[in-house]
Structure 1
Amino acid sequence: MSDDTLSAELVRAITDLDETGALALVEARLAANGDPFEIVAACQTGLRQVGELYEARQYYLSGLIMAGEIFREIFELLRPALERRAAEPAAGRILLGTVQGDIHDIGKNMLGMLLTSHGFAVTDLGVDVPAAEFLRRTLELRPDVVCLSSLITSAHESMRQTVALLKSELARRALNVPILIGGGLMDEHVFRYVGADYWAADAMDGVRLCRRLTARP
């Protein structure tokens, strides 16, 4: 079976919430020395489709939770290979959380796990995090990057308010902390509306951006 076929079947298994099938495909891919980052990319596609089905009300919240659990199990299978493939660890501190009004954590958890495997020190605030809490922890921890996550469109206004508060208070204190946003329904239009500094199309894109933003001269 070709890598492309395995990837397509993995996307389908995750979209169908087929835990047994998804894990078997990942194990087969790893046994054949498959690229763990390509497996992550297939997982992202499957998770994105699950999010779209949830938005279309074809899946309930339990479907999102199940998809997240499947990915957590897949990530544990991938962890050794990811750590071997990761480049020189990036020295950086990341503050991460899902904005207020959103309780979804699939994308956030994926980014957090990948960042950790790349050597970042990640502080995860969880879900439904108020803007004031993001500000408090940013001032306390002085991270290199603040990452805000949201899966649902109804939380984009909350994300916008969080970005506005962070930028205002950080500027008042002459602090420069880049704000990166991401989520299943993120695009250039949402990025402009929210007013963040950067946006990531997926978790691997988020890792690449964090590595670039924390690169030392």
Structure 2
Amino acid sequence: MSRTKTHSQLISAIADLNEELALNLIRERLAENDDPLILIANCEKGLQRVGERYARHKYYLSGLIMGGEIFYEVMELIQPAMQDRISGTSSGRVLLGTVEGDIHDLGKNIFKLLLSCYKLTVYDLGVDVPPEEFLRQAKKLQPDILALSGLITKSYDSMRETIRLFRQERYRIPIVIGGSQLSEEVFHYTGADYWVNKADVGVKLCLRLLK
């Protein structure tokens, strides 16, 4: 079976919540030495379709949760393969959290897993984190990058307020906002330095900023 066809099947397997097929396809591609980041990107596409079906009421909340659980199982298979490809250690430190008013953490947790695969130190503050807590922890932990996560529209105001507080305190640090629904318009509204709407793209950005 061609690699392209397998990748397409992987996307569909996750979108259809077919756990057994998804995991078997991952094992097959890892055995063929596929790039783990490409596999993760395809899994993200499948997970995005799960979210779209939930939004169209084709899936209940249980389907959304199951999609996330399948993704975590996929990551357990992929993580060793990624670490085998990455040599040395990294001194990069990322302060991460879902902003105040938002309790969604799937995207944040995927991003955290990927950063860990690249041997970055991640300080995860969890969800519903107030601007003042981000600033307090930044002063305490001295991270190299601040990553703010949010999914719902309400989170954009929280991102903006958090970034405003950092600017007001003249605390200089690259600030990245992330979320599957983000856009160029939201990016400009918040005043962030960078924005991403895919976890793997966010990791590549962080690695570039740390060079």
Match of 1:187 in 2: 183
SS at match of 1:193: helix
Task: Say if 1:96 and 1:148, in contact at 8 Å, map to a contact too.
Answer: yes
Separation in 2 of the partners of 1:62 and 1:51?
Answer: 11
Match of 2:161 in 1: 161
- Over the aligned positions, Cα root-mean-square deviation in angstroms equals 1.7
Note the alpha carbon deviations across 1:128-149, whole angstroms, 9 max, x for none. 2122211111111111001011
Q: CA deviation at 1:197?
A: 0.7
Match of 2:197 in 1: 201
SS at match of 1:151: coil
5 Å-filtered alignment, 1:30-179, equals 30-86=30-86, 88-169=88-169, 171=170, 175-179=171-175
Separation in 2 of the partners of 1:102 and 1:80?
Answer: 31
Separation in 1 of the partners of 2:2 and 2:127?
Answer: 38
Note the alpha carbon deviations across 1:93-129, whole angstroms, 9 max, x for none. 1011111222211211111111111111001111121
Going from structure 1 to structure 2, the CA distance change for 1:133 and 1:52 (only over 3 Å counts) comes to farther
Q: Which residue identity lines up with residue 181 of structure 1 in the other structure?
A: I
Separation in 1 of the partners of 2:190 and 2:8?
Answer: 33
Give % identity: 51
Separation in 1 of the partners of 2:85 and 2:70?
Answer: 22
Note the alpha carbon deviations across 1:35-93, whole angstroms, 9 max, x for none. 21110110111122223333444444333322221111111101111012236543211
Separation in 2 of the partners of 1:77 and 1:212?
Answer: 26
Task: Say if 2:166 and 2:172, in contact at 8 Å, map to a contact too.
Answer: no
SS at match of 2:104: coil
Q: Which moved more, 1:134-143 or 1:159-168?
A: 159-168
Going from structure 1 to structure 2, the CA distance change for 1:56 and 1:190 (only over 3 Å counts) comes to farther
Separation in 2 of the partners of 1:97 and 1:66?
Answer: 22
SS at match of 2:67: helix
Q: Which residue identity lines up with residue 176 of structure 1 in the other structure?
A: R
Task: Say if 1:51 and 1:184, in contact at 8 Å, map to a contact too.
Answer: no
Q: CA deviation at 1:152?
A: 2.2
Going from structure 1 to structure 2, the CA distance change for 1:193 and 1:61 (only over 3 Å counts) comes to farther
Give the number of aligned pairs: 211
SS at match of 1:30: helix
Structure 2 length as normaliser, TM-score? 0.92
Task: Say if 1:183 and 1:202, in contact at 8 Å, map to a contact too.
Answer: yes
Match of 1:214 in 2: 210
Separation in 1 of the partners of 2:103 and 2:64?
Answer: 11
Match of 1:10 in 2: 10
Structure 1 length as normaliser, TM-score? 0.90
Going from structure 1 to structure 2, the CA distance change for 1:189 and 1:12 (only over 3 Å counts) comes to same
- Structure 1: stretches of 5+ with no match in the other structure: none
SS at match of 1:17: coil
